Structure 1
Amino acid sequence: LTIGADTRSVMFSQYFWWVSRYLPISRNLQIIGVAAICWAIWKIHNKACFEKKLIRSPAEIVCYACAFLIYWAGLQNESERNNLLAGAAALEAEALRHHEGQAR
């Protein structure tokens, strides 16, 4: 099940409205989530370009982003840290559920 797939945003300016509707988290955590995904894509892009290492599955991008989220959780206050850690764990578990071969 894709959360809000029938009402996904068509412009980046709609992202915060869309994510607030389906994921009631703070704006700070929304920004951290976007940053983690962008940073993961950038790092994987660099591995592909400079090290010739291609990804085997989109789950690699999600797991890479989750690693950033877990690391960055230490920079947050206790409430947001706990939410970030729980969100990263749930996101990683869902990605690995869809791409079981990556869990090995």
Structure 2
Amino acid sequence: MTIGARSRPGFFAQYFWWISQLLPISRNLQTVGVAEICWVIWKLRIHACFEKKLIRSPAEIVCYSCAFMMYWAGLQSENDQTNLLAGSVALQQEALHHHVAQS
């Protein structure tokens, strides 16, 4: 919803086509984005399975994801770093906006 998407991809090849249509970002950032989402889902699944810390809301996944994006931004070129930080802020604001609407 943040980027105006009306659908979501179902597999990686579709993701790369989908994201290039919606956001004018480098292929590097496209890869960072999908890797970061996969990493967050894996980390939260580990917390749920082994530490019994259940996910309370989809906003929790997005906020955790944004924290990783901010951390990984330091590993990017200056232009990609700026784009990654801006995207993280926009994504987090959108998630928190919808989280409030759910409660």
TM-score of the superposed pair, with normalisation by structure 2: 0.88
Are 2:5 and 1:4 aligned? yes
- Tell me the equivalent position of 2:53: 53
Return the alpha-carbon distance in structure 2 between the equivalents of residues 82 and 73 of structure 1: 8
Identity of aligned residues (%): 65
Return the alpha-carbon distance in structure 2 between the equivalents of residues 30 and 11 of structure 1: 14
Q: Deviations over 1:51-91 (max 9, x none)?
A: 10101100111111111100000011111111100000000
Unaligned runs of 5+ in 1: none
**Larger relative contact order (C-alpha < 8 A, sep ≥ 6)?**
2
CA shift at 1:10, angstroms?
A: 4.1
Q: Are the counterparts in 2 of residues 36 and 66 from structure 1 also a CA contact under 8 Å? A: no
Q: What is the count of residue pairs matched by the alignment?
A: 100
TM-score of the superposed pair, with normalisation by structure 1: 0.88
Unaligned runs of 5+ in 2: none
Runs of 4+ in 1 over 3 A off after TM superposition: 8-11
Return the alpha-carbon distance in structure 2 between the equivalents of residues 15 and 59 of structure 1: 21
Aligned CA RMSD, in angstroms, stands at 1.7
